[in-house]
Amino acid sequence: MARRDGLGRIVLYAACLPVLLFLLLPSLVIVPMALTKGQMIQFPPIWISVHSFADYIEDPQWFRSTVLSFEVAALAVAIGCITGSAAALALHDRRFPGKGLVTGAIMAPIVVPLVVLALGGYMVFAWLHLIGGWMAIGLLHGMLVTPYVFISVQTSLVAALNPVLVRSARSLGAGRASVLRHVIWPAIRPGVLAGGLLGFAVSFDEVVIALFLQGPDAVTLPVRMFTAIQFELTPKVAASASLFLVLSVLVLLAQAAVMRRRASGRAAA
Partner 1 sequence: MNVALPIAATAPLGEARHHLSVEHVWKSYTSGVHVVRDVSFTLAPGEFLTLLGPSGSGKTSTLMMVAGFEAPTRGAIRVDGRDVAQLPPERRNFGVVFQGYALFPHMTVLDNVAFPLRMKGLGGAARRRAAMEMLDKVGLADFAARRPRALSGGQQQRVALARALVFEPDALLLDEPLGALDRKLRESLQIEIKEIQRRVGVSILFVTHDQDEAMMMSDRIAVMQDGQIAQLGAPDEVYLHPETPFVAGFLGDTNLLRGQCVGLGEGAAIVRFAGDAIGPARLSRGGGRPGVGDAVLVSIRPERIGLLRPDEVAACVIEGVVADRVFLGRHTRLVVHALGQMLVVSVAEPPGADVVAGAAVRLGWSREDAQILHEMGTGATR
Q: Tell the smallest beta-carbon distance from residue 110 to partner 1 (Å).
A: 31
Overall size of the chain counted in residues: 269
Q: Would you say 128 or 172 has its CB closer to partner 1?
A: 172
Please report which helix (H) or strand (E) contains residue 56, including its range. helix 51-58
Give SS3 for 191. helix
Q: Tell the smallest beta-carbon distance from residue 269 to partner 1 (Å).
A: 4
Q: Tell the smallest beta-carbon distance from residue 234 to partner 1 (Å).
A: 50
> Which residue, 114, 83, 143, 81, is CA-closest to 207?
114
Contact call for residue 265 and partner 1 (CB under 8 A): yes
> Which residue, 93, 95, 99, is CA-closest to 165?
93
Q: Would you say 186 or 215 has its CB closer to partner 1?
A: 186
**Scanning residues 12 to 71, which ones bind partner 1 (CB under 8 A)?**
none
**Scanning residues 160 to 189, which ones bind partner 1 (CB under 8 A)?**
162, 164-165, 167-175, 178, 182-183, 186
Give the gyration radius of the chain's Cα atoms: 23
CA distance 41 to 54: 15
Q: Tell the smallest beta-carbon distance from residue 160 to partner 1 (Å).
A: 9
The site map against partner 1 for 182-221 (x = CB under 8 A) is xx--x-----------------------------------
Contact call for residue 230 and partner 1 (CB under 8 A): no
> Which residue, 149, 155, 182, is CA-closest to 78?
149
Q: At what angle do helices 60-91 and 236-268 cross, to 10 degrees?
A: 30
Contact call for residue 159 and partner 1 (CB under 8 A): no
Applying CB under 8 A, what is the total number of residues that bind partner 1?
A: 19
Q: Can you list the positions of beta strands (E) in the chain? A: none
Interface with partner 1 (CB under 8 A): 162, 164-165, 167-175, 178, 182-183, 186, 265, 268-269
